[in-house]
Amino acid sequence: MTYRSRIAALAAALLACALAAPASADWPERPVTIIVPFPAGGGTDTFARPLAQQLGSQLGQTVVIDNKGGAGGTVGAAVAAKARPDGYTFFMGGAHHAVAPALYKQLSYDIQKDFVPVALVAQPPQVVVINASKLPVKTLQEFIAYAKERPGQINYGTAGKGSTHHLAGELFAMQTGIKLVDVPYQGAGPMLSALIGGQVDMAFDGLGSSSGHIRAGSIKPLAVAAAQRSPSLPDVPTASEAGVPNYQVSTWYALWAPAGTPQAAVDRMIREVTLALNTPKLKEQWATNGSATPNLTGPAFGKFVDDEVARWGKVVKDSGVTLD
């Protein structure tokens, strides 16, 4: 090996060591960024921003939310997967990212390999919501009957092709024998604006992003897609109670770190997230938005993700959903 090649090899080794260096005992020593792969105003933001504020208070550093929407959350995920794994970038994704592997043939990242699971952050159920001025129905069964009389004439908004909003609609249609038309938007925020404005008739949305609009009377809930009624919507029946047995979908949200992030930073973040989620303030906010406080971190959360990838892969296969 020549002198020049030895120097180059040493430089490469030093760079690799720097990238993989353990987090300082004083971590974090500067602001931490959480990449959110959807536009501001959606369900992910509903939980990410209060969590970031609480984490910032606990860590003594600013925790910045960086919204990078597009392609059903896969654009932001790809950016996060390639971020420097130094403990200063995390990724707040969710159920959408368990769906993506079955839909996208050439994803530039692997949610199960390119990230380290940190913690499940929230798990609000989905809710079937309508624009009451567009659909003259009061119950889920009335809606199903109305839709059966108008196959392909009722549309529903989604947070993008292949999002859980989209597949929840496909699953509902398969279970009830109706035909709906999906209308994709760049995130739950724009989709909800379209629903409120009457550009779409209905949606299958996470309770976290819909609850405020439901309380304001802007949209009407027909059923909650959960085993039990939501404490935040006690008068709204479950889908099973409303005549659609076993229709259960949650729009869960979670935190990951890029693969290679120092374990010390991951472990500290797990502790801080657990502490944050158990503060009275966040417990109250989570409950208001229809979510209990999860207690699933590290490898156990990773197993949950593996199971969700398998579950949604089957839904994609059975529904025949494809992306152009």
Interval 106-123 mean pLDDT: 96
Q: Decide whether 32-123+252-319 matches 126-242 in CATH topology.
A: yes
What confidence category does residue 65 fall into, taking pLDDT thresholds of 50, 70 and 90?
A: very high
Q: In what order do the strands lie in the sheet with 63-67?
A: 63-67, 32-36, 89-94, 253-258, 115-122
What integer pLDDT is reported at residue 24 of this predicted model?
A: 56
CA distance 226 to 100: 22
What integer pLDDT is reported at residue 112 of this predicted model?
A: 96
Helices (H), ranges, 150-217: 164-176, 188-197, 207-216
Question: pLDDT at residue 251 above 90?
Answer: no
Residue from 133, 153, 123 nearest 220 by CA: 133
- How far CA 208 is from CA of 29, 148, 158, 263, in Å, comes to 32, 29, 15, 31
Question: pLDDT at residue 243 above 50?
Answer: yes
Q: What is the pLDDT of residues 139-169, one digit of tens each?
A: 999 999 999 999 999 999 998 887 888 999 9
At the fourth CATH level, which superfamily is domain 126-242? Periplasmic binding protein-like II (3.40.190.10)
| C-beta atoms surrounding 84 within 10 Å | 12
What integer pLDDT is reported at residue 25 of this predicted model?
A: 66
Instruction: Give 296 or 69, the one with higher predicted confidence.
Output: 296
What confidence category does residue 199 fall into, taking pLDDT thresholds of 50, 70 and 90?
A: very high
| C-beta atoms surrounding 184 within 10 Å | 17
Question: pLDDT at residue 96 above 90?
Answer: no
Find all residues with CB under 8 Å of 246, minimum gap 6, and list them: 175, 240
- How far CA 321 is from CA of 107, 246, 304, 316, in Å, comes to 17, 21, 23, 6
What integer pLDDT is reported at residue 18 of this predicted model?
A: 41
48 and 78 Cβ atoms separated by less than 8 Å: no
Q: Considering the chain, what is the average pLDDT of its residues?
A: 90
What integer pLDDT is reported at residue 73 of this predicted model?
A: 85
What integer pLDDT is reported at residue 68 of this predicted model?
A: 92
What integer pLDDT is reported at residue 8 of this predicted model?
A: 44
* % pLDDT > 90, the chain: 69
Residue from 49, 86, 85 nearest 65 by CA: 49
pTM of the model: 0.78
What confidence category does residue 42 fall into, taking pLDDT thresholds of 50, 70 and 90?
A: confident
CA distance 54 to 154: 41
SS3 state of residue 199: coil
CA distance 219 to 25: 49
Report domain 32-123+252-319's class. Answer: alpha beta
Tokens of 219: 């949209």
* % pLDDT > 70, the chain: 92
Question: pLDDT at residue 13 above 60?
Answer: no
Which residues in the chain belong to E strands, given as ranges? 32-36, 63-67, 89-94, 115-122, 126-130, 155-158, 181-184, 202-206, 220-224, 253-258
User: Which residue ranges make up each domain of the chain?
Assistant: 32-123+252-319, 126-242
* Overall residue count recorded for the chain in this entry: 324
| C-beta atoms surrounding 143 within 10 Å | 23
Question: pLDDT at residue 261 above 90?
Answer: yes
Interval 119-140 mean pLDDT: 96
Tokens of 276: 């944050």
What integer pLDDT is reported at residue 162 of this predicted model?
A: 79
Concatenating the DSSP letter of every residue in 99-147 gives: HHHHH-TT-SS-TTTSEEEEEEEE-PBEEEEE-TTT---SSHHHHHHHH
Question: pLDDT at residue 20 above 70?
Answer: no
Amino acid at 295: N
Question: pLDDT at residue 304 above 50?
Answer: yes
Question: pLDDT at residue 9 above 50?
Answer: no
